[in-house]
Structure 1
Amino acid sequence: MLSATATEIIRATLPAVGAAIDDITTLFYRKMFAAHPELERDLFNRGNQNQGGQQKALAGAIAAFAALQLEPDQERVDLILSRIANKHASLGVEPAQYQIVHKHLFEAIAEVLGDAVTAEVAAAWDELYWLMAETLISMEAGLYRSAGVEAGDVWRKVVVRERRQESADAVSFVLTSLDGAPLPSFSPGQYLSVGVHLEDGARQIRQYSLSSAPSSGDWRITVKRVDAHPLPDGAIAPAGEVSNFLYRNVFEGDVLDVTTPFGDLVLQDDDAPLLLISAGIGCTPMMGMLSHLADTADPRSISVIHADRAPASHAHRAELAELVDRLPLAVMHRWYEDLGARRPENGLREGRADLAEITIAEGTHVYLCGPLPFMLGMREALLGKGVAAQNIHYEVFGPDSWAAAPA
């Protein structure tokens, strides 16, 4: 908890810092990478840096955490920090790296805000930073302990036992240990990191949801290649560095560097009804959950909603239908923007996903994964149908801008 003095200074200065936070985080990354180029080359996602996504996510997290010290909401604080801690653990972040971040972040604050950063203001924001950092360090230590590894020691080598085409632009890889022993278990919905060495010598890391059930003893991930494509603002999003490398270069018998599974999008330990909503490659954590639910013959009411561009684009399309059929009280609804020659039928519609005619039982836990605009739209619709905000769980592929969205 912040001291009373720091709280009042944060309250007074948050509007100014918030107005400049994008400039601060952009300068922070520039300073840190100039001093530690290995972090940009081997740890951070260069694509997110180039597009500004990581800067916006960091700015949102800092501003949200600061605001939540003024109007305390522990549940929301826990949500924001749990997501960050799991991502950090999956990257192997160590406590000493928080000192590096502190140095360059506060240099950026001082440079952007100038004389407004008095000794008292600097001390208050320093207290806020270390409150956030030490909470994350503690949470990450707990994650490492639960995984049975030392802090940061999360990497292992696995071999690709099977590569399978799941759609026109997605493949799955079944991963096994080098010695044939079962890989560590995981909770359905979690992800692991994959690190690849690219042609320019950089080691780039990306997270991929586990799309299989824990009972298999192996790990399966599904990777969608990403071509350069236009964005709504007219900019061009670059092709995916790691996804395209994996899609084009990795086959049976190849060895990959991956981490222990982490992630907090996991099924709640109760018997509440479930609603699993996904779009595009966001189906992957749902496949892991559904595989587990089918393997355990889960008797609860389960609704599955998936949206995609076309049936040919839908990774795991046939497998999804098989899993739903195995669950006695599960129903599936699919929307495709282009059905081609197919006709709409029961549970199959053309257009964009719409919850208007979907009945949601009281107390339902909802799990969301897909493009951020899709998830935010679904969240608004769910809240409009009376679903409690705390019952809406999500996974973001890439920088988490959801954290800064209004509660």
Structure 2
Amino acid sequence: MLSETSAATVRATLPAVGEAIGEISSVFYGRLFTAHPELLRDLFNRGNQANGTQQRALAGAVAAFASVLVQEGAAPQALLDRIAHKHASLGITRDQYPIVYTHLFAAIAEVLGEAATDDVVDAWTEVYWLMADTLCAIEDRLRDEAGVSGGTTWREFRVVGRYTETADVLTVLARPVDGHPIPRARAGQYVSVQVELPDGAHQIRQYSLTSTRTDAAQFAVKKLAGPPAGEVSGHLHQHLTEGDVVRISAPFGDVVLDVSDRPVLLASAGIGCTPMIGMLGDLAADTSARRVVVVHGDRDESTHAFRADLEQLVAKLPDAAAHVWYEHPQEDRPADRTGLVDLGTIDIPEGAVAYLCGPTAFLEAVGTQLRDRGVPAADIHYELFTPAGF
């Protein structure tokens, strides 16, 4: 817990820190990458740095952690779990936390100026290390559970298949070079994939697993615009071939299918269908008796990845239904519905637990519709593909 003195100081300075988060983040990353260019080259997502989406993530997470801590007297577990899973997947280690501290607090001092008194710095230092120590403990536990404690999360995998799903989505199937089984993933989790780019950088991206098989990693890659935003996905689409070796992490991710018998709603848009296909595959493999409602929105049939898989998996379940919306349906292959996803037109089972994945606007709209239909916020789980997920 935060000391009473520090809590009072943090509470008093939260507005000023929150107002300056954007500038603090910019100064922080500038300092960090100047001192450690290898972190931008081989760890941080250069695309997210270039478009600004990651600029507020770390400093914003510290501020969010502090806000909950002083207002509720307890750590925000959901926030910490999400960050810890991402860190474990990326191979973040304890010795990197002091590096971040040095440059983050130099940025705070620079931006706040005289307002960054010794008392203020001491209080926020306590916040930072409380958060860091908690994250390290969670990350150690996650690595233990994944069977990669005391070593690296990375293993070499050989690509044994690549399959075109749509014009900009491909499925990659890769088996461990060492021949040993991979940790069994929970449906909804992701792996990190590290590739060497033409300039020598070793960039890392996370991709949702579309199957929880233990003999191979199976994940989908959507080609994004870029570079820099789509430099890894573009590289994989253009250059990855069968026989190539890539480094892949153990599976991580906190948005996973529960093991209850409650009804389940799987709602996605665009490439957000990937974790949902993984969840649906697990349900179908068990011939689950749960009531399952699958909702998906896309531009049209040609951009809808895993449409055939969706139909086949739903058909294997005794109590499942799928509802598809296309904004611009093709005349020969119409959707169930036209336009954007509207949950007001379908039955939401009482007591359902919902899993959502897709663009931010989709998540906000569907989340609101679910809450308006009486689904408790605690039963609505989001998977996000951006740093905003922190």
TM-score (ref. length: structure 1) = 0.93
C-alpha contact 2:351 2:375 (8 A) present in aligned 1: yes
RMSD: 1.6
Deviation at 1:41, TM superposition (A): 0.3
The 5-angstrom pairing of residues 35-74 of structure 1 reads 35-72=35-72, 74=74
CA offset digits 1:236-260 (Å, max 9, x no partner) = x855010110011112121111111
- From 335, 338, 355, the counterpart of 2:325: 335
Whether the 8 Å contact between 2:50 and 2:228 is mirrored in structure 1 is no
* Correspondence for 1:316: 306
Quick one: distance in 2 between partners of 1:152 and 1:206?
A: 20
Q: Offset at 1:110? A: 0.2
Would the aligned equivalents of 2:263 and 2:352 in 1 still touch at CA under 8 Å?
Answer: yes
Q: Partners in 2 of 1:152 and 1:379 — Cα distance?
A: 39
One-letter code aligned to 1:164: Y
User: Structure 2: how far apart are the matches of 1:48 and 1:195?
Assistant: 16
SS in 2 for 1:315: coil
3-state DSSP class of the match of 2:340? coil
The answer to whether structure 1 residue 222 and structure 2 residue 210 are counterparts is no
In 2 relative to 1, CA 125–179 (structure 1 residues): closer, same or farther, beyond 3 Å? closer
Q: Which letter maps to 1:252?
A: E
Amino acid of the structure 1 residue aligned with 2:103: H
Equivalent position of 1:325 in the other structure: 315
| In 2: Cα distance, 1:189 partner to 1:395 partner | 9
SS of the equivalent of 1:171 reads: strand
* Residue 402 of structure 1, CA deviation: 4.7
- 1:234 aligns with none
Conserved? CA contact 1:89–1:152, under 8 Å: no
Mapping of residues 9-158 of structure 1, within 5 Å: 9-72=9-72, 74=74, 77-151=76-150, 153-158=152-157
1:96 is paired with a residue whose SS is: helix
How far apart are residue 155 of structure 1 and its match? 0.4
CA displacement, residues 73-99 of structure 1 (integer Å, 9 cap, x when unaligned): 75x811101000000000000001000
Unaligned runs of 5+ in 2: none
Residue 377 of structure 2 is aligned to residue 379 of structure 1 = no
CA contact (8 A) 1:184 1:217 kept: no
* 1-structure distance, mates of 2:115, 2:73: 29
CA distance in 2, matches of 1:291, 1:147: 21
Compute the displacement of 1:217 (Å).
2.6
Compute the displacement of 1:59 (Å): 3.7
- Equivalent residue for 2:351? 363
Instruction: Report the counterpart of residue 249 of structure 1 in structure 2.
Output: 239
5 Å-filtered alignment, 1:265-344, equals 265-342=255-332, 344=334
> Quick one: which amino acid aligns to residue 197 of structure 1?
E
Alignment of 1:231-246 (within 5 A): 238-246=228-236
Distance 1:122 1:60 in 2: 17
SS in 1 for 2:156: strand
CA distance in 1, matches of 2:338, 2:228: 29
The equivalent of 1:4 in structure 2 is: 4
Give the C-alpha shift of residue 349 in structure 1. 0.9
Which residue does 1:183 correspond to in 2? 182
Q: Please report how far the alpha carbon of residue 385 of structure 1 lies from its aligned counterpart in structure 2 after TM superposition.
A: 1.3
TM-score, length basis structure 2? 0.96
Give me the whole-angstrom Cα distance separating, in 2, the residues matched to 1:244 and 1:118: 47
Change (3 A) 1:47 1:151: farther
Question: What is the aligned partner in structure 2 of residue 165 from structure 1?
Answer: 164
Offset from partner CA, 1:219-275 (integer Å, 9 cap, x none): 2011111124xxxxxxxx855010110011112121111111111111112111100
Matches of 1:47 and 1:190, distance apart in 2: 22
Distance 1:4 1:35, change over 3 A: same
- 2:378 is aligned with 1:390: yes
Counterpart AA for 2:205: R
Map residues 344-355 of structure 1 onto 2, 5 A cutoff.
Answer: 344=334, 348-355=336-343
**Structure 1 residue 372 displacement after superposition:** 1.7
Superposition deviation, residue 144 in structure 1: 1.0
Task: Give 5+ residue unaligned stretches, structure 1.
Answer: 229-236
Distance across 2 between alignment mates of 1:58 and 1:279: 27
Name the SS for the 2:56 alignment partner.
helix
Letter in structure 2 aligned against 1:186? A
SS of equivalent to 1:222: strand
User: SS in structure 1 opposite 2:69?
Assistant: helix
Identity of aligned residues (%): 51
How many residues end up aligned between the 2 structures?
390
- Per the TM alignment, residue 123 of structure 1 is displaced from its structure 2 partner at its CA by 0.6
Could you say what secondary structure the match of 1:153 adopts?
coil
1-structure distance, mates of 2:280, 2:58: 32
